[in-house]
A and B are shown apart, each in its own frame.
Chain A
Amino acid sequence: DIQMTQSPSALSASVGDRVTITCRASQSINTYLLWYQEKPGKAPKLLIYAASSLQSGVPSRFSGSGSGTDFTLTISSLQPEDFATYYCQQSYNTPPTFGQGTKVEIK
C-alpha cells in the first residue's frame, strides 16, 4: 500500500495567517492527490482534486500544488471557518490511502 505522510500533525495559527500543509507519498502518484477538510459532526468536504484543481464551491484561498511524491495545501488567509482537520489522499492505486491528518487550531 502507498503510505501518505502529512506534516505537521497539528498547527496553531491566527486568522489571516498563511498556512501550508505538506503531504508526502511513499512512491510516485503523479497528480492523483486529493485534499479534504473535516469538522466535528460534519461530513468531510472535498477541497482539491488532481493535486491542484479547486472543487466547485470551495473558496479560492485554498490551493494545492505538487506532483510525484510531494504535495502542499495552502490556505492563503486563514478564516475562522477553516479551523478543522485536513487530510490528503492518493487515488493512484488500490487501496486508496489517506494521510494521518493535520489539525489546524486557533492560536
Chain B
Amino acid sequence: EVQLLESGGGLVQPGGSLRLSCAGSGFTFSSYAMNWVRQAPGKGLEWVSAISGSGDNTYYADSVKGRFSISRDNSKNTLYLQMNSLRAEDTALYYCARDPSHTVLFWFDTWGQGTQVTVSS
C-alpha cells in the first residue's frame, strides 16, 4: 500500500524555523516527484513546493520563495521542507503529496494525512 507519513510540525514563534519530513512507503520513492500542499485553518488548499524524482528540479509558490527549501533523500525514502523566517500566515496543516510522474506535473495522486504547523508568539 502506498503511504506517506508527515512529521515535524509544531508550535514555533514568528521568525523561527521548522523542518518537516515525509516518509514514503509502498512505492519506489525515487521514481516520483513530490510536493508540499498546505491548508490554513478554515481555508482551501494551497500548493507550496515541488521537487522532481531525482531532486534536480525544484519549484516554489511566490508566498514561500526565499524562505522555504524543499529537498529529498531517496536513500531514506524521505521528503523534507525546511521552513525559515516563519510568519503567522504560514500557520496551516501541511500535506505531503505524490506527483504521478518522475517529472513534476503539479497534480497529486496520493496524499499524507498532514502535519500541523502553528506560528504564534
Give the residues in chain A near B107, CB-CB below 8 Å.
34, 46, 49, 89, 91, 96
State the main secondary structure of chain B at its contact with A: loop
Interchain nearest-CB distance for A53 vs B (Å): 11
The reply to whether the CB of B26 lies closer than 8 angstroms to some CB of chain A is no
Q: Chain B: interface residue count, which band?
A: 20 to 34
> Which of A36, A46, A87 has the most chain B CB atoms closer than 10 A to its own CB?
A46
- The chain B residue sitting closest to A38, CB to CB, is B45
The reply to whether the CB of B32 lies closer than 8 angstroms to some CB of chain A is no
State the main secondary structure of chain A at its contact with B: loop
> What is the 8 Å Cβ interface bit string for chain B, positions 90-115, against chain A (1 contact, 0 not)?
00000101001000011111111110
A interface residues, tally (CB under 8 Å) = 22
Give the residues in chain A near B59, CB-CB below 8 Å.
94-95
Give residues 81-107 of A contacting B (CB, 8 Å). 87, 89, 91, 94-101
Contact of B44 among A34, A46, A95, A100 (CB under 8 A): A100
Q: Are A87 and B109 in contact (CB under 8 A)?
A: no
Interchain nearest-CB distance for A71 vs B (Å): 14
Supposing A94-B59, A95-B47, A95-B62 touch, asked if A44 and B95 sit within 8 A by C-beta, the answer is: yes
Chain B positions near chain A (C-beta within 8 angstroms): 4, 44-47, 59, 61-62, 95, 97, 100, 105-114
- Name 15 A/B residue pairs within 8 A (Cβ), A-sorted: A36-B45, A38-B45, A41-B113, A43-B95, A44-B97, A44-B111, A46-B109, A46-B111, A49-B100, A49-B107, A87-B44, A89-B107, A95-B47, A95-B62, A95-B106
Chain A positions near chain B (C-beta within 8 angstroms): 34, 36, 38, 41-46, 49, 55, 87, 89, 91, 94-101
